[in-house]
């Protein structure tokens, strides 16, 4: 509870970068918990890169957006429900940049392997959970087959976020139909060994997913829907 509340406070600007955090004693009183519980939460926040303990045990909020790393993202994923809409949008924008590249590389390196994964889509049930699991399997497989070892590491770092966003990305019939169209087009490209086509198809699909996400959820709520 303490970790979640402090993360929420830092994301909303209640505890600003460069400012001192409340003392352990004050935090314990504020959340009606023991100082040991507070200390454990502060240690997790320090390990993730949110805060640093200065001289005389003063705890300072770090400039986590410029100094943090993927541990910050992992911490936000654990502690934010619903997931921040703006951050979700930024992650989907990032995927527009790197997904087309690993799709092209995967077809160049192992078109038959990509096609073999995509053929599984023909037997998928038309429900969110089945599509979520398969879509993750496909993108991770293409990342691995791309030959770039950083891509799988990046995707695995985003696994928790992807789970958070699954209801937003696959909840509507329109989205599921678009996804199946993407699988069919990608299967044709992989079967033909056309890596450039796979890149273009993936870029268009990721852009469509991003724009639909902004359209359907940006106007409804500043945060993403909770997991289904």
Residue 196's CATH number: 1.20.120.530
pLDDT at 221: 54
Question: Running DSSP on this structure, what letter comes out for residue 227?
Answer: P
pLDDT at 228: 34
The reply to whether 118 and 154 lie within a common domain is: yes
pLDDT at 58: 87
Q: How far is it, in rounded angstroms, from Cα 102 to Cα 195? A: 10
The reply to whether 11 and 114 lie within a common domain is: no
Is residue 29 assigned to a domain?
A: yes
pLDDT at 227: 36
Is residue 227 assigned to a domain?
A: no
Return averaged pLDDT per consecutive 10 residues of the chain, 228 residues in all.
92 92 91 92 93 83 91 87 85 94 98 98 84 92 97 89 74 85 97 98 95 75 45
Q: How far is it, in rounded angstroms, from Cα 228 to Cα 211? A: 21
* Domain-ending residue, one of 52, 76, 100: 76
The reply to whether 122 and 157 lie within a common domain is: yes
Closest to 209 measured CA to CA, from 183, 182, 180, 175: 175
The reply to whether 91 and 65 lie within a common domain is: no
> Is the separation of the CB atoms in 131 and 176 below 8 Å?
yes
pLDDT at 55: 66
Q: Is 45 helix (H, G, I), strand (E, B) or coil?
A: helix
Q: How far is it, in rounded angstroms, from Cα 196 to Cα 169? A: 25
Stated pTM of the model: 0.83
Q: How far is it, in rounded angstroms, from Cα 114 to Cα 170? A: 22
The reply to whether 88 and 134 lie within a common domain is: yes
The reply to whether 58 and 160 lie within a common domain is: no
Q: How far is it, in rounded angstroms, from Cα 59 to Cα 2? A: 15
Is residue 224 assigned to a domain?
A: no
Number of domains comprising the chain = 2
Q: Is 61 helix (H, G, I), strand (E, B) or coil?
A: strand
> Is the separation of the CB atoms in 90 and 214 below 8 Å?
no
Domain containing residue 129: 81-218
Is residue 204 assigned to a domain?
A: yes
The reply to whether 164 and 198 lie within a common domain is: yes
The reply to whether 95 and 70 lie within a common domain is: no
């Amino acid at each position: 509870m303490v970790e979640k509340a402090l993360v929420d406070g830092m994301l909303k600007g209640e505890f600003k970068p460069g400012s001192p955090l409340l003392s352990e004693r004050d935090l314990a009183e504020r959340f009606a918990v023991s100082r040991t519980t507070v200390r454990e939460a502060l240690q997790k926040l320090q390990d993730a890169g949110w805060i640093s303990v200065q001289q005389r045990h003063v705890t300072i909020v770090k400039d986590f957006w410029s100094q943090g790393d993927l541990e910050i993202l992992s911490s936000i994923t654990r502690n934010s429900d619903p997931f921040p809409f703006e951050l979700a949008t930024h992650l989907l924008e990032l995927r527009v940049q790197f997904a087309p590249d690993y799709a092209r590389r995967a077809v160049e390196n192992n078109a038959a392997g990509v096609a073999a994964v995509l053929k599984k889509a023909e037997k998928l049930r038309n429900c969110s959970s089945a599509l979520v699991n398969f879509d993750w399997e496909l993108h991770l497989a293409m990342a691995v087959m791309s030959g770039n070892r950083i891509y799988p590491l990046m995707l695995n770092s985003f696994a928790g976020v992807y789970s958070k966003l699954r209801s937003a990305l696959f909840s509507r019939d329109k989205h599921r139909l678009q996804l199946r169209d993407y699988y069919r087009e990608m299967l044709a490209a992989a079967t033909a060994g056309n890596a450039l086509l796979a890149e273009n198809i993936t870029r268009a699909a990721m852009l469509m997913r991003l724009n639909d996400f902004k359209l359907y959820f940006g106007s409804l709520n500043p945060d993403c829907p909770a997991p289904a």
